[in-house]
Structure 1
Amino acid sequence: MALYSLTVFMLSCPLTILAAYLWLFASWAQYSWFLVLYHTLVAFTLSSILALFFVLFILYRFFVPQREFHYLNLANAKVHVCLTAYNDEICIGDAAREFKSNPLVNKVIVVENNSKDNTYQAAVKSGADAVITETVKGYGACCMRALAEGAEGLDDDDIVILCEGDMTFSGNDINKFIAYIENCDLVLGTRTTQELRAMRTQMDWLINPANQVVAKMIQIRFWGTRLTDVGCTYRAIRVGAYRRLASRLKVRGNHFSPHMFIEALKMRMRVIEIPVVFQARAGESKGVGSNKIKAARVAIRMLKLLYAA
């Protein structure tokens, strides 16, 4: 109800503003049909925002059970880092070495997705503990394989960290993830914090705000979880939570990231978001990058996931 109320507001509000402009400056108020249309748009806008307020601050309060603070001691937890890669020969070695140098990390696993260059060989030379080729094409397929390989042999209280091996993220941020996962099941990174973001990244004047709008729509749907980024591929999950979630992970494409945490939220898992360092990637982007048309297509797939949730 909250999501659809928000959708009606997002559609009707700009149309109402346009109609008000035509009324004031184009003398359209003389037409009876225009007045009916204008009043209808105003009614939709006001009713949708009132419905949104009612659902979130009244119905949600009385009908959605609250959860108590949660803490799990992870002092002895093992940490496996899983790096996904596709044609990342020039950077996967440096990425693997950076993550492996973090003293909290027990193992670094690289999963490459049928790379056409020497990504596999570069990962092996880097000293990664395991290098695996996922033959099924797609970022999501690579992530699912990485999570499965990372969780192999671990206890439920251990941790798997998923990240891309393109040097956009920092191995030092693992310390942040470990600190916060003591209180939840899944920790998501966010690239929207300006103080932690390099100047020349794909989070530009359009991708960044559009990304945040979709994130807020998901937040409205799953009220109580703060979200600002739907496309960050850096995250940590407790192995026990992953094993409960694994059978629900199906998306093989670039919209896997929101698919994963939407499914976790549907299961009422504890999910939080933390700011992480975001740098310009090494080499050419194989995901959305700065391609606005491709970004729009991925955004549409993300919205389909949301409205189906």
Structure 2
Amino acid sequence: MQGLKRHTIGVAGLVTALLLAPAHSAFAGGPIDKGTTTTARENSRKDDTLYAAVSYDTSKNGSGPSVGHVSTAGTSWTPPACWLAPKWTARQFAKQMESEYKNVTTDPNQPNYAKNATSQLREMYKNGEYKNYNVDKQDEGMWWGAVENPNAPILERTACNSTLPFWAKNGETPKVKNAISPKILAGLAREQIKVPGTEVTLAPSGTTKVNLATWAWLDHGDFKPVSVTASITAPGLDIRATTVATPVSLKLQPGTEDAETYPTSGECTFNSDGSIGEPYATRRAGQTPPCGIKYLRSSAGGAYKLQATVTWEITWTGSGNTSGRMPNGTFGNDQDVRVQEAQAVNH
């Protein structure tokens, strides 16, 4: 790997941040979620297309009218604000640098320090540490640079701009901080995960009675693992990670303190066939449901907001035999439950 150094930037770094990664530039490469696979992206690639954009395969993601992103409470985990990735071929980089050099140095409105810094950068990449932007090595490597995560806070996105663009040979992953990796891609894939909403089946449905056990269940097939694969490819380089969300339990919150849950914790686990609880049947009248609620007070003509929330276990596997776990996520819905007083029967 040629010339991989952590440069002290000063003014030059500020100019690089402005010139090489402006939002309006064709060289701004952030995640694009179009549900496309890497193969589709490569087949449609043009000579002036950046390599740094992350490709997502969302074909195995959750679907339906009430899907949503899992939330992660009680953790400091956040997706990366930026990373370093292969962005330009040698010819692309040369074209970009020469264009920006001309634009800045011939603009009478540019201050002298900006013109000087731009000239110094051009000298380094054209006649200094590198020779003519490594154009004679066009097929041997790529220029790596900073890529901002458009979903991150705007003030954090420039954290990677302290590293100037550098050259790396094809198939080589530079050992530098924030270099794109399966772990980073797994976090980006997690941002794209969607899971189905949760509406449990209740018996009695709609309206129940005070002190009557209400059975709750989710049928087999309603919930199953979902996944998203994130990848980034360049000549000789293919880095990818698949993040999987697997349902592990259902939490019932009655919407009032005047209620009891089954089990007592309100946490119903999935059965081996992917279902939760058991459907009510007349022969089970009077039995305690494996998953359910008993309301102790009527809803007085209104309705309680029963919240059914599924916890999803998040894991990932990536290229290079990498793998890991992320904090569990949750997603759920509210549904109305009306509770009436039990009517006494006089004989």
Q: Tell me the TM-score normalized by structure 1.
A: 0.22
Give the structure with the larger strand fraction: 2
TM-score normalized by structure 2?
A: 0.20
The structure whose Rg is larger is 2
More helix by share: 1
